[in-house]
Structure 1
Amino acid sequence: MGNGSTNDTSAINKAITAANTAGGGIVRFPSGTYESKNTIRMKSDVTLQLDAGSTISGNGADTYDPPEPNPWDDYQDYGHSHFHNAVIYGDNLTNIGFTGSGVIDGDGALIIGNPKPGEADKIISLTRCKNLTLSGITLREGGHFAALINDCDNVVSDRLVIDTAMDRDGWNIISTTNVRIRGAHLEANDDALAFKSDYALGAKLNNGHVTVTDSYLSAGCCNALMFGSETCGDFTDYRFEGITIKGSGKSGLGLVSMDGAKISDVHYKDITMTDVRSPIMQKVGTRKRCGNNPGVGSISNVTYTDIKATGTTPSFSPTLWGESGSGRIHDIGFTNVDITVPGGNGTMSTNPPGNDPKDYNPKAIGTRPACGWYIRNADNVRFTDSEVRFAANDGRPAVIANNSAGIHFDRFTAQRGSNSPSDLLFQR
């Protein structure tokens, strides 16, 4: 029974080893507080079950496992490049789980920047895992990441709660396939739920076959539901349905290809967003921060159905921004998508704004010359039974499509600004 003062790491690791040696089992945490001032090392065929009232508390004193060397750490941020420096770490594992209704709490001990040796910057860190269950528990005060998984397959999550609004990221799912998430409640300061593909494991890995349903997301400074920015391997077959997003300092639904990834077959349905700076953001960039000389990526076959959103920044209008050539965005559908933008901007030049192709943030593109949709280098985009309105009169067109083709509007409503030079503007 945890008493909240004894360092229980050694006992926890012995129990995990015993369960693994016996061919698998459950390590159970009855109600109580279990101090873990060192790294817990997961093993295959083991589930940590946290009963109601139980807490595994980080509260380390510079005694976690040091970060391992990584010859590929130039291709992604430090936190993505190192995995051992965590409260709980495991590599090349099968059949592992974190279940119950208890809490794993960083307890203010985890680092949000680059940790020194002995410091940890994440709660759960898993690489090359198969058959992972992460359900029912709460992850709190995660440092850089509450949970970081890379190159995993067959991940199931039901009713996971993450509260890292005072730290950084919620859950980063990297280079991972076959994921089912239901009933998540994720509140982060940085990205709440992010799908990424980096080069931390020295290979360009694919991603996909993911469903996320009936979940709540919020992100203080950054992105609520995000693809990227790390985008080395290709992404395909994603379904998001029944999502509520409350607040994001960058994108509500962000989808960027910065490092050569082809992103396709992504579908959003029944999503409500409030207080998001950039409701919908798609961008193809040319950062190319990935090994093996990546080319320019692409975004295609993406649909948005039954979406309602309110934006909070006039500059960050909903945006589709492709690159020329093979990097063009194409085959995008919006059905029953109703967006209210803040408006309040005056008349301005309708020329394309500036863009930093190596930066994925919405602010990397200057103030959009359209108050509603800004579309550039995109083909076959269809709006059906959709509308864009503003909260305050705006002097920009509702929609601008630049250097694009096959832009269709079927029963589309656009609120007219009193000083706008046009309602819908098509350039080049």
Structure 2
Amino acid sequence: MPTRRDAILGMAAFLPFPTHAAATIDVRDHGARGDGRAIDSAAFNAAIAAAAARPHGGTVVVPAGRYRCYSIRLRSHVTLALAEGAVIEAAAGTGYDLPEDNGEQLYQDFGHSHWRNSLIWGEDVDQIAILGPGLIDGRGLTRDGPGARWKAQTGERPLSMRQMTAAEIARLEPDAARMNGLGNKAIAFKNGRDIRLAGFTMAKCGHFAILATGTQRLTIQDLSIDTDRDGIDLDSVRDVLVERCRVNTPNDDAIVVKSSYALGRAAAAENVTIRHCAVSGYDLGTMLDGSRRTTQAMAPDRDRPTGRIKLGTESNGGYRNIRIEDCSFHHCRGLALETVDGGVMENVIARRLTMHDVTTAPLFLRIGDRRRGPAGTGVGAIRGVTLGEISATGIDHRFAATIAGLPGHRIEDVTLRDIHLSYAGGGTTADAARRPEDLASAYPEPSMFGVTPAWGLWARHARGLTIRGLSLATVAPDARPPFATEDVVDLHVTGTPLWRG
């Protein structure tokens, strides 16, 4: 009879780091119970330490069972392999590692500023893998945390939250002292290189299911994530691939690329590819159970369900060489490309995207002037963006695809190619007469401008906009024009735009 060790050795060719198969360590051999009652994090940390001490690292095996844990500390040269039926459950209570003392952390919120207060975390680690097919259940994590301590406090929250009371906001953003001992992320990496996450499922994972900051050569494959706030956050990363992932996040973004000041400096996010992924804003838990319900009307920001792919909002370092390809959006907001904190966005390609039941705008490009950063932070730029082969249906009639720069800071060199957008319709002549303010310092969201004065595509403060194949349709009549521009220079349209409504 082959042993479990034989099976792992046989898998060596398929492991991201085959040398980790030379030593296999069962968490139960270090005292893990997996009975759903005992706290097993000490056993996990002992097994990980033992694997890391081997000459070529090792594989920590998690057999079937439910393992309640507080913080699990990853070390270099270790693969954590979750067997079928293995569940790592985030325990309730205040047993998690304390958030690091990183000074004031003025320019991003609490969740982005700390990594150790997580269920699973690694800092400056090399050659790490977490493999499925098991489950990471974040039921004991909190989705809350205080906002940034930036003194200007402009553009901190979406305008859709203006009517919320101070008490309502305080419930979402408790002060930092109340976070001590709580976990608010499932998996967090600060820096680190050569990391692989593949094949497992994540449920209800707090503020972030996955937060990777300053991480290089990260691959995320074949994950199913159904969570109560952000899904996958890639902050100031380099050389990253996310593919074949399903991410459901009705209350926040599904897959998001950022470039915050969390590392104490502005660092770009660059060379990121997101492909063959499905994002959605179905009711929490209903992607995993297959029911895909849509009863939730609003996200916590008082706007419709989120669940999208986005660049932003934190954008101090900018973004370079981003590819978003062959992805689907279901019952969620559309693609958002934003820079509001001084960073430059350039060389972005998004193509072969399909969207159904779009809850705000299908496409949203925005330069803003929030400047949440140290003295000298300026206004950013967007240039060299190609959006192609995109089809969206069931779009909220209020919000056209939007390209919105600022006076003196135009969005430059954007190509729209083979874009097909179908809206619900219903706009009025009063909507057509609207002239929204620029709202330079406001938090960027498609709803920030209210109902747009065109129903299909609205562009202003842009230079070098090229349109090659655009078809727009409405289900019901709409009194607004299908396409409107303001302060757009070097507009090039090839082929006759088609619209029906």
TM-score tier (shorter): over 0.9
Q: Of residues 205, 217, 231 in structure 2, which corresponds to 1:170?
A: 231
Rate the CA distance shift 1:176–1:303 in 2: closer, same or farther, 3 A: same
Give the corresponding residue for 1:204.
Answer: 266
Pairing of 1:48-87 with structure 2 (within 5 A): 48-87=80-119
Query: Alpha-carbon deviation of 1:235?
Result: 0.7
Amino acid at match of 2:233: N
Identical residues among aligned pairs (%):
32
Give the corresponding residue for 2:148.
Answer: none
Q: Higher strand share goes to which structure?
A: 1
- Gaps of at least 5 residues in structure 1 are 418-428
Pairing of 1:213-362 with structure 2 (within 5 A): 213-219=275-281, 221-248=305-332, 251-276=333-358, 277-325=360-408, 327-348=409-430, 349-350=432-433, 352-358=435-441, 359-362=443-446
Tell me, yes or no, if structure 1 residue 157 matches structure 2 residue 220: yes
Query: Alpha-carbon deviation of 1:366?
Result: 2.6
Query: Alpha-carbon deviation of 1:416?
Result: 5.8
Query: Alpha-carbon deviation of 1:242?
Result: 1.1
Q: Distance in 2 between matches of 1:336 and 1:75?
A: 38
Q: Distance in 1 between matches of 2:348 and 2:80?
A: 33
Asked if structure 1 preserves the Cα contact closer than 8 Å seen for 2:118 and 2:186, the reply is: yes
- Cα distance per residue 1:208-258 (max 9 Å; x no partner): 11112111111362250000100010211111111011021xx31000101
Q: Distance in 2 between matches of 1:416 and 1:45?
A: 58
- Cα distance per residue 1:29-80 (max 9 Å; x no partner): 11111111x2111111111111111111112321111212222422111211
Amino acid at match of 2:179: K
Q: Distance in 1 between matches of 2:455 and 2:131?
A: 46
Tell me, yes or no, if structure 1 residue 118 matches structure 2 residue 186: no
| 1:266 match: secondary structure | strand
Query: Alpha-carbon deviation of 1:6?
Result: 1.6
Amino acid at match of 2:243: R
Q: Distance in 2 between matches of 1:296 and 1:413?
A: 33
Q: Distance in 1 between matches of 2:500 and 2:84?
A: 55
Q: Distance in 2 between matches of 1:144 and 1:298?
A: 29
| 1:154 match: secondary structure | strand
Amino acid at match of 1:338: H
| 1:403 match: secondary structure | strand
User: Number of paired residues?
Assistant: 410
Q: Distance in 2 between matches of 1:416 and 1:269?
A: 23
Rate the CA distance shift 1:105–1:154 in 2: closer, same or farther, 3 A: same
Asked if structure 2 preserves the Cα contact closer than 8 Å seen for 1:199 and 1:291, the reply is: no
Q: Of residues 67, 81, 104 in structure 2, which corresponds to 1:34?
A: 67
Tell me, yes or no, if structure 1 residue 103 matches structure 2 residue 135: yes
Rate the CA distance shift 1:78–1:412 in 2: closer, same or farther, 3 A: farther
Q: Of residues 127, 140, 158 in structure 1, which corresponds to 2:190?
A: 127
Pairing of 1:391-406 with structure 2 (within 5 A): 391-406=475-490
Q: Distance in 1 between matches of 2:68 and 2:257?
A: 31
Give the corresponding residue for 1:422.
Answer: none
Q: Of residues 123, 146, 157 in structure 2, which corresponds to 1:91?
A: 123
| 1:75 match: secondary structure | coil
RMSD: 1.5
- TM-score when normalising by structure 2: 0.79
Amino acid at match of 2:68: E
Amino acid at match of 1:4: G
Q: Distance in 2 between matches of 1:291 and 1:275?
A: 39
Tell me, yes or no, if structure 1 residue 194 matches structure 2 residue 256: yes
Tell me, yes or no, if structure 1 residue 379 matches structure 2 residue 379: no
- Cα distance per residue 1:348-386 (max 9 Å; x no partner): 354531242221111211321111111000011111122
Asked if structure 2 preserves the Cα contact closer than 8 Å seen for 1:321 and 1:376, the reply is: yes
- TM-score when normalising by structure 1: 0.93
Amino acid at match of 2:61: R
Q: Distance in 1 between matches of 2:394 and 2:370?
A: 27
Q: Distance in 1 between matches of 2:394 and 2:417?
A: 18
Asked if structure 2 preserves the Cα contact closer than 8 Å seen for 1:382 and 1:407, the reply is: yes
Q: Distance in 2 between matches of 1:320 and 1:391?
A: 23
Amino acid at match of 1:310: T
Query: Alpha-carbon deviation of 1:404?
Result: 0.8
Asked if structure 1 preserves the Cα contact closer than 8 Å seen for 2:196 and 2:218, the reply is: yes
Asked if structure 1 preserves the Cα contact closer than 8 Å seen for 2:395 and 2:422, the reply is: no
Give the corresponding residue for 2:19.
Answer: none
Asked if structure 2 preserves the Cα contact closer than 8 Å seen for 1:397 and 1:416, the reply is: no
| 2:92 match: secondary structure | coil
- Gaps of at least 5 residues in structure 2 are 1-27, 29-33, 146-177, 283-304
| 2:179 match: secondary structure | coil
- Cα distance per residue 1:281-313 (max 9 Å; x no partner): 000000011235211011111111111002532
Asked if structure 2 preserves the Cα contact closer than 8 Å seen for 1:86 and 1:124, the reply is: yes
Asked if structure 1 preserves the Cα contact closer than 8 Å seen for 2:369 and 2:379, the reply is: yes
